[in-house]
């Protein structure tokens, strides 16, 4: 498994979701993050087109949308975390 980083925004969004997310949501998040770190070129990732000079990607896992990028040292940096709100 490669190295990864968590942005401040990602950590804030994770902390904010702790009250409303289910145990299944957290399990999906953990599994998705492990899969991304192991293989950032997952077939279901979608380019975010946010910054062409530093491409980033979106990956959906259940009710969760994960925004990540590869750093210059090929580490995965998790940028944002979006939860489906009902």
How far is Cα 74 from Cα 86, in angstroms, rounded to an integer?
35
Handedness of CA 5, 11, 13, 19 (dihedral sign): positive
Selection from 25, 5, 6 nearest residue 83 by Cα: 25
4-83: CATH superfamily: RelE-like (3.30.2310.20)
Q: What is the pLDDT of residue 85?
A: 62
pLDDT of residue 86: 52
Asked if 14 contacts 26 with a C-beta cutoff of 8 angstroms, the reply is: no
**Domain parsing of the chain, residue ranges:** 4-83
- Rounded to two decimals, what is the model's pTM? 0.89
User: Which of these, 80, 61, 78, lies nearest to 3 by C-alpha position?
Assistant: 78
pLDDT in tens, 14-37: 999 888 888 898 999 999 999 999
- Write down the pLDDT at residue 17: 87
Residues of the chain with pLDDT under 50: none
């Amino acid at each position: 498994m490669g190295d990864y980083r968590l942005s401040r925004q990602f950590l804030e969004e994770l902390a904010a979701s702790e009250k409303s997310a289910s145990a299944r949501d957290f399990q999906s998040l953990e599994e998705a993050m492990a899969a991304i770190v192991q293989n950032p070129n997952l077939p279901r990732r979608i380019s975010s087109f946010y910054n062409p000079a530093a491409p980033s990607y979106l990956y959906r896992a259940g009710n969760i949308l994960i925004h990540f990028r590869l750093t210059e040292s090929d580490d995965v940096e998790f940028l944002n975390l979006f939860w489906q709100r009902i």
